């Protein structure tokens, strides 16, 4: 059976840096399956550039949302005074301390690109078929943008540049694509 040709949009990779339902374990499976005769993951340099450029903002939003999340600390009057209430108060204090430690740890790991997701994406990208930047394909993407041809938002070249790279590099055959939200 011929290999499956796969492209993953930058936003899918960025989801792993937020509160998405995506599971990191799927990257482990993809790392194993990205091999000759199985899956060929196509990785234009533009995807790597977009990931590098947008990673920090995704991390900042996720960190901010996590910091804002509060455990319920108040205990109704009728529940106070019991051993269970005391244990609950201790558990909340312990959870708040663990949360502060987790935030500090995540920040340190993020600054050195050592988050678990960073490591998994790095291993996946090592196995991918990578395409360097290409001025000719960039010019084609500019023409596509100026004509208003998809994919991508108006006056945005990134998706068009990726598209031109894939058209030039991926073997002819059935082309399947998925639009976000469909």
For the stretch 2-27, pLDDT in tens is 889 999 999 999 999 998 888 999 99
CA-CA distance, 161 to 43, in Å (whole number)? Answer: 12
| pLDDT for 128 beyond 80 | yes
Alpha-carbon torsion (88, 89, 92, 97), positive or negative? negative
Confidence of residue 181 (pLDDT cuts 50, 70, 90): very low
For range 165-181, the mean pLDDT: 74
Tell me the sheet residues that pair with 40: 5
Sheet holding 4-7, edge to edge: 4-7, 39-44, 129-131
- Report how far residue 95's alpha carbon sits from residue 93's, in angstroms, rounded to the nearest whole number: 5
Is a pLDDT exceeding 60 seen at residue 182? no
The tens digit of pLDDT for each residue in 23-72 reads 999 999 999 999 999 999 999 999 999 999 999 999 999 999 999 999 88
Q: What are the residue ranges spanned by the domains of the chain?
A: 4-132, 134-169
Q: How confident is the model at residue 180 (pLDDT cuts 50, 70, 90)?
A: low
Mean pLDDT of 139-144: 95
Coil, strand or helix at 129: strand
68-120 residue pLDDT tens: 999 888 899 999 999 999 999 999 999 999 999 999 999 999 999 999 999 99
Instruction: Give the ranges where 69-115 is alpha helix by DSSP (H).
Output: 83-111
Residues recorded for the chain = 182
What is the reported pLDDT for 39?
94
């Amino acid at each position: 059976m011929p290999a499956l040709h796969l492209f993953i949009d930058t936003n899918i990779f960025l989801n792993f840096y937020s509160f998405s339902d995506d599971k990191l374990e799927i990257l482990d499976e993809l790392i194993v399956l990205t091999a000759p005769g199985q899956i060929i993951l196509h990785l234009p340099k533009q995807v790597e550039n977009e990931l590098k450029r947008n990673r920090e903002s995704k991390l900042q939003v996720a960190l901010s949302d996590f910091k804002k999340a509060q455990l319920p600390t108040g205990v109704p009057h009728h529940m106070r005074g019991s051993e269970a209430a005391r244990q609950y108060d201790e558990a909340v204090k312990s959870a708040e301390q663990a949360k502060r430690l987790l935030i500090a740890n995540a920040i340190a790991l993020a600054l050195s690109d050592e988050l678990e997701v960073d490591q998994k994406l790095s291993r996946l990208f090592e196995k991918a078929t990578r395409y360097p930047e290409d001025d000719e394909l960039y010019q084609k993407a500019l023409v596509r943008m100026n004509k208003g041809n998809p994919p991508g938002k108006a006056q945005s070249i990134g998706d068009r540049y990726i598209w031109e790279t894939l058209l030039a590099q991926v073997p002819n055959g059935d082309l399947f694509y998925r639009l976000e939200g469909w």
